[in-house]
Homo-oligomer: A and B are copies of this chain.
């Protein structure tokens, strides 16, 4: 049975996943400097230990990805044209079908390396059905941003939520756990493990 998994989703100690004023030159907004420091060594090819394992885990047995539009790019509202091809370059690091939630569908966008972006104006459960089919028996990874993860959590569609708590305070921004009163009834904390970086890795699973 395919599972929907969130990996390496990083929040501040005060619960913020995206800072204020997210924009093209600040994909995670302001006030969250250091949010992803824990994965910097992995990006440099020098990752070790718990942090590196968490970095890698999100690629294991994943056959499709779902993300919110803000994780695809900074364009808001109707697409002015189809020039914007994602934050991720011409050879995105997915290599499978990626389903982008948006109120503004556009034609599917095949990229180099096997990644194809599909743009869907649909409910989370429908998007999950499409992604599950595309995953061909593997799991589906749910990316960000905050609103997207929250929408899938609210409907109880997430099977495994691997969070990282970064040792910083944001003060303001989008909080992952705002407006999710029913999550504790469906989910429990399975483990809390410190990484060498000062970040803490938390796994939340279904009860």
Q: Which residues of A contact B (CB under 8 A)?
A: 13-15, 31, 163, 165, 167-172, 175-177, 180-185, 187-189, 191-194, 198-200, 202, 204
Contact = CB atoms under 8 A, between A and B. Distances in A.
Contacts of A192: 167, 194, 198-200
Contacts of A165: 13, 165, 200
Contact of A181 (B172, B184, B187, B193): B172
A171 B189 contact: no
B167 A171 contact: no
B169 A184 contact: yes
Given A168-B189, A171-B181, A184-B170, A14 B15 contact: yes
A182 B171 CA distance: 6
13 contacts: A13-B165, A14-B176, A14-B177, A15-B15, A165-B200, A167-B189, A167-B202, A168-B189, A169-B189, A189-B198, A191-B198, A192-B194, A200-B200
A180 B16 CA distance: 12
A167 to B, nearest CB: 4
Given A31-B184, A194-B194, A198-B192, A169 B15 contact: no
Contacts of A177: 13-15, 169, 171
A185 B204 contact: no
Nearest 3 A/B pairs, CB to CB: A14-B177, A171-B184, A167-B189
A173 to B, nearest CB: 10
Given A31-B184, A184-B31, A198-B192, A169 B13 contact: no
Contacts of A176: 14
Contacts of A198: 189, 191-192
